[in-house]
Structure 1
Amino acid sequence: MFRFLVLLLCLPAMAMAEPLRVISLSPHTTELAYEAGLGDNLVAVSAHSDYPPEALELEQVANYRGINIERVVTLKPDLVLAWKGGNPDKELAKLERLGIKVFYSNPHSLYEAADNIEKLGKWSDAPDLAKQRADDIRQALQNVEQAQEGKPEVAYFYQLSDTPLLTNNGDHWPQPLFDLCGGKNIFANSSAPYPQVSVEQVVVRKPDAIFYPNTREKPEALWSAWADYVPAVKNDHIYSVTGDWLNRPTPRALKAVEQICAAMDKVRSDLGH
C-alpha cells in the first residue's frame, strides 16, 4: 500500500514534460523565436543576437566562422533555428544526421517573416498568441501597401558601405522594405547580390534619393562634389535609416519601413509628384 501511495505522488512529476530546448544560430532567428513565444526556451544563440536584450545573457554557439557542433550537441536541443544560406549547409546537415530537428528560416519579405513566427509558434506554449502576432504584422504591411498605392516610384541608391562602395540588387535584403515604399533600386538588375559599384555608376543613374544605415556617418564628403549631377545630392535627399531595424527580416523592420516611406514621400513632395 505504501509503495502504491508513493507511486501516485510521483506520477505528476513523471508526467510533466521537460521544457522544449531551443538553440538559435542567427540574430534574426533569435528575434523571431522571442516573437513566437519561444524566448524562455532558448538555451543558446549566435553571436550578435542582441535583441531583445535578454538574448545577450545566453551562451553563444555560432558566429560567422561556423557552428560549435560539439557544444550544440552537448546542450541537447529539441529544436535548432537556422539561417538558410547564412549558416554552413554542411554543419546543418550534420546536426540533422545526429537526429536534431532543424527549422530553416530565410525570409525574403516581412510576410515570410510573419509566416516564420506563426510556424515557430506551434512549438510554443501559446501558438494562438504567435499567430496573432503574425496577423498583426500582415495587417501592418497591408496598411503600408494601401497607403502607398498609386504613388510614383522614387529612384534611389542604397549605400550599404562606402569603402568599398556597396549596395544590394533587386533580389536581396533590404530590397523588400524599399519595395513597400515605392522605391526603384538603380542597381536592381545587377547580377551580384551585393555589388561593388563606383561613384560614376551612381552619378550616371541620377538617383532622386540616397539611403544609408545610421551605423555610418552621413556620406556628404563622398557626394558633395556631385551636387550638380545627382538630384539626391542637389536636393539634400540623403537619408539615414536605423541599421538595427533595416538589416534583419524581423518585425522591427516595420520601423525602418516607416522611415523609408516618410523619406520617399518627402522626395515626391519636393519634386512635385
Structure 2
Amino acid sequence: MALITKLTRLTLASCILLTSITAVADQTAPKRIIALSPHSVELLYSLGVGDRIVGTISHADYPEQAKSIEVIGDYKGITLEKVIALKPDLIVTWSGGNKINQIEQIKQLGFTVVDSNPQSLTEIASNIRHLGNATGQVEQANKIAAGFERELAEITAKYQKKAPIKTFYQLWSKPLMTISEQSWISQYISRCGGINVFADTKTAYPKVSVENVLLSGAEVILVPRDKQTRDHELFNWEQWQLLPAVKNNHIYYPNATILHRPTPRVIEPMREVCEQINRAR
C-alpha cells in the first residue's frame, strides 16, 4: 500500500512539473509574429500559430486565412514603420528574398529575429524544426518534419536510380531562363532521376538561348506555371520538332505556385514531376 501511495505521489508530481513547464513555454512563446515570406506564413499555420501572425509580405496566400494578414511589403522591400507599429515579439525573415540591409535594420532595432531560407529539399524539414523551436511548437514541428522526410525519401528511392532523362526546366520565357544545380529547385529533377541539362551553369538562374536548348537534346521540358509566369504560353516549342521533348510530346506544366514554395506541400507536385519525367523512359 505504501508503495502504491509513493508511486501515486510521484505521478502527481510529474504531472504538476509537466504542467508548469508547459505553462512557462506558453508564456515565453511569441504572441505577435511578423513573417516576411509566403513559405514561412504557410509553415507557421501548419505549426498551429498562424493566428499569431500580425504582418507579412505580398503573395502570402496559403492557407486561405493568410489572405487577411496585414501586408507590410513585397519583394521590393518592407515598411519599417509598420514593423515597429505592429510591436512583434518575433520576426521571421527571409534572407533569400528580403533586402539584406532591411534585415540588418530590423536586428539593430532590437527585435527577436529568426531566418527562414531553405536552400534544399532536406532543409525544408530542418527549417520546420527551427520554426518549431522559435514558436514553442517543438512536438508539432518534429511530427511534420518527420512526415515530410519520410515521403521525400520514398519518392527519391522510387525514381532517382531509374534511367536518366535529359530535362530542361523553363523557369521563364521572356527572357528564356532556366535553373542550374545551384538552385534548390534543380533537386526535383535529380531526385526524380532526371539530368538537368543546364546543371553546370555558373549562375543559379541563367539566361539561355533556343539554340542552347536545342543542343542540349532535352527529352523532357518542364514549364512551371503560376499567375506570374503565364507568358510561358506565348513561347511555342512546337516549331522545334527536332528536340526529343517536342517530337515525343514530353512538355509538361507543373504547378509552380506550390513547387517553388519550400513547404511540405511540394511533395504532391514533386510526385507529378517524377511521373512526367518517367513517361519519357
Inter-partner Cα distance in structure 1 for 2:187 and 2:160: 16
Contact 2:121 2:184 in 1 (8 A): no
Once the two structures are TM-superposed, the CA of residue 214 in structure 1 deviates from its matched residue by 2.7
RMSD over equivalenced CA pairs, Å: 2.1
Q: Deviations over 1:21-77 (max 9, x none)?
A: 110111111112222332121111111101111110010112121111111011111
Structure 2: state its 5+ residue gaps: 1-22
Could you tell me which of 230, 238, 245 is aligned with 1:224? Answer: 238
Once the two structures are TM-superposed, the CA of residue 149 in structure 1 deviates from its matched residue by 4.4
Once the two structures are TM-superposed, the CA of residue 220 in structure 1 deviates from its matched residue by 8.4
Could you tell me which of 156, 177, 182 is aligned with 1:171? Answer: 182
Could you tell me which of 238, 248, 258 is aligned with 1:235? Answer: 248
Match of 1:118 in 2: 129
- Between Structure 1 and Structure 2, the one with more strand by share is 1
Q: State yes or no: 1:251 paired with 2:246.
A: no
Could you tell me which of 25, 29, 42 is aligned with 1:31? Answer: 42
Once the two structures are TM-superposed, the CA of residue 163 in structure 1 deviates from its matched residue by 1.4
Structure 1 residue identity aligned to 2:87: K
Inter-partner Cα distance in structure 2 for 1:220 and 1:208: 21
Q: State yes or no: 1:152 paired with 2:163.
A: yes
Could you tell me which of 64, 86, 103 is aligned with 1:92? Answer: 103
Once the two structures are TM-superposed, the CA of residue 192 in structure 1 deviates from its matched residue by 2.1
SS at the partner of 2:134?
A: coil
Structure 2 residue identity aligned to 1:68: T
Contact 1:37 1:130 in 2 (8 A): no
Could you tell me which of 1, 20, 37 is aligned with 2:31? Answer: 20
Contact 2:168 2:220 in 1 (8 A): yes
Match of 2:276 in 1: 263
Structure 2 CA distance for partners of 1:209 and 1:135, relative to 1, 3 Å: same
Contact 2:173 2:232 in 1 (8 A): no
Inter-partner Cα distance in structure 1 for 2:209 and 2:220: 17
Match of 1:186 in 2: 197
Structure 1 residue identity aligned to 2:32: R
Match of 2:20 in 1: none
Q: Deviations over 1:170-210 (max 9, x none)?
A: 11142122222112111111122211111111001110000
Scaled by the length of structure 1, the TM-score of the pair is: 0.87
Scaled by the length of structure 2, the TM-score of the pair is: 0.85
Q: Deviations over 1:102-159 (max 9, x none)?
A: 1112112222111111121123354211210110001111111221243122111111
Contact 2:160 2:191 in 1 (8 A): no
How many aligned residue pairs are there?
254
Contact 1:37 1:124 in 2 (8 A): no
SS at the partner of 2:223?
A: strand
Inter-partner Cα distance in structure 1 for 2:42 and 2:113: 17
Inter-partner Cα distance in structure 2 for 1:99 and 1:54: 29
Contact 1:118 1:130 in 2 (8 A): yes
SS at the partner of 2:267?
A: helix
Contact 1:209 1:232 in 2 (8 A): yes
Contact 2:95 2:117 in 1 (8 A): yes
Inter-partner Cα distance in structure 2 for 1:144 and 1:220: 33
Structure 2 residue identity aligned to 1:25: L
Match of 2:65 in 1: 54
Contact 1:36 1:118 in 2 (8 A): no
The percent of aligned pairs where both chains have the same amino acid is: 37
- Between Structure 1 and Structure 2, the one with more helix by share is 2
Once the two structures are TM-superposed, the CA of residue 16 in structure 1 deviates from its matched residue by 6.5
141-150 or 213-222, which deviates more: 213-222
Structure 2 CA distance for partners of 1:236 and 1:70, relative to 1, 3 Å: same
Inter-partner Cα distance in structure 2 for 1:88 and 1:121: 24
Structure 2 CA distance for partners of 1:113 and 1:159, relative to 1, 3 Å: same
SS at the partner of 1:93?
A: helix
Inter-partner Cα distance in structure 2 for 1:257 and 1:209: 15
Once the two structures are TM-superposed, the CA of residue 264 in structure 1 deviates from its matched residue by 1.3
Q: State yes or no: 1:76 paired with 2:87.
A: yes
Match of 1:212 in 2: 223
Match of 1:129 in 2: 140
Structure 1: state its 5+ residue gaps: 1-11, 269-273
Inter-partner Cα distance in structure 1 for 2:273 and 2:213: 19
